[in-house]
Amino acid sequence: MRGRLALAVLVGWVGLALVGPWLPLSANRVELTHILAGPGPQAWLGYDDLGRPVWDRLVAGASVSLLVAAPVVGLSLLVGAPLGALSAWRGGTWDHLTTRGIDIFLAFPGLLLAIALAGTLGPGIDNVVIALAAVGWVGFARLARAQALSVKARDHVQAALALGVGEMRIVFRHLLPLIAAPLMVEATFALAGAVTAEAGLSFLGLGVQPPRASWGSMIRDGTRYMLVAPHLVLAPGIALALVVLSVNLLGDRLRDWLDVRERAL
């Protein structure tokens, strides 16, 4: 039951994010007569401190979160997984240097490093994607390396090596397909982390800039009116929590489904 609810929330988030730009929304329309007005027939979730409809901005924020999270996970996966698998395959000095680089990145808290990079690059969606991807590849690289070390000695991999197949072909045709399952699970958790990180950067003013809507910036702007208009924080806060929780639940279900021993039980 929880899995179906999580899937419904995830489908709703992705659907709103994809369809939102084509809906007749007015996320940036200022109506001074509706400043801080609560939920009503004209606006399901009320209006913000500038008289803008919260629901319209919530949908616009969903588009921004997906627009950031999907490229971050894709870039992190494309960079980290091959690098980790190649490191495990080559071994020696290459593996030593790669693991030391991973350890250096892991020595810094991921979000703090992303904040530092975003502050250096400047605000904006493109810079947020670059900053988060520069941090996110580490988890995929470490997982890919650990998994590749356990499968590189399998018979068909060694047979390909004996036949003179190049190492890059071995990595992409033999190693990565074998470790695709744990990488898929890691991608789901990375997606939830990217959504949270984007909201955090926007909350600090390092992400999406006004007047464009972001769940993080909506929460930041709403904290000043918590006593008189709590819906300004509750609406984006609940949406963010539901999306992150749903992605994590689906990641857990996917991990259990891909685990042969759990499926047997």
pLDDT at 44: 81
Query: What is the fold, at CATH topology level, of the domain defined by 2-264?
Result: MetI-like fold (1.10.3720)
pLDDT given for residue 239 in this prediction: 94
Spatial contact of 204 and 121, defined as CB atoms under 8 Å apart: no
Domain ranges of the chain: 2-264
pLDDT at 263 over 80: no
Angle between helices 110-121 and 125-151 in degrees, nearest 10: 140
* pLDDT higher than 80, residue 260: no
- The three-class DSSP label of residue 53 is strand
> Which of these ranges, 50-54, 135-139, 261-265, has the smallest mean pLDDT?
261-265
Task: Dig out the tokens for 144 from the structure.
Answer: 């890919």
Q: Kindly give, in sequence order, each residue whose CB lies less than 8 Å from that of residue 16, ignoring residues fewer than 6 positions away.
A: 59, 62, 63
Q: Which class for 46: exposed (0-12), middle (13-18), buried (19 or more C-beta within 10 A)?
A: buried
Residue-wise pLDDT for 127-147, tens only, equals 899 999 999 999 999 999 999
Average pLDDT, the chain: 87
User: Alpha-carbon distance 215 to 26, whole Å?
Assistant: 16
pLDDT of 191 reads: 93
- Look at residue 254 in the predicted model and tell me its pLDDT: 82
pLDDT tens per residue across span 226-254 = 888 899 999 999 999 999 999 999 888 88
pTM of the entire structure? 0.89
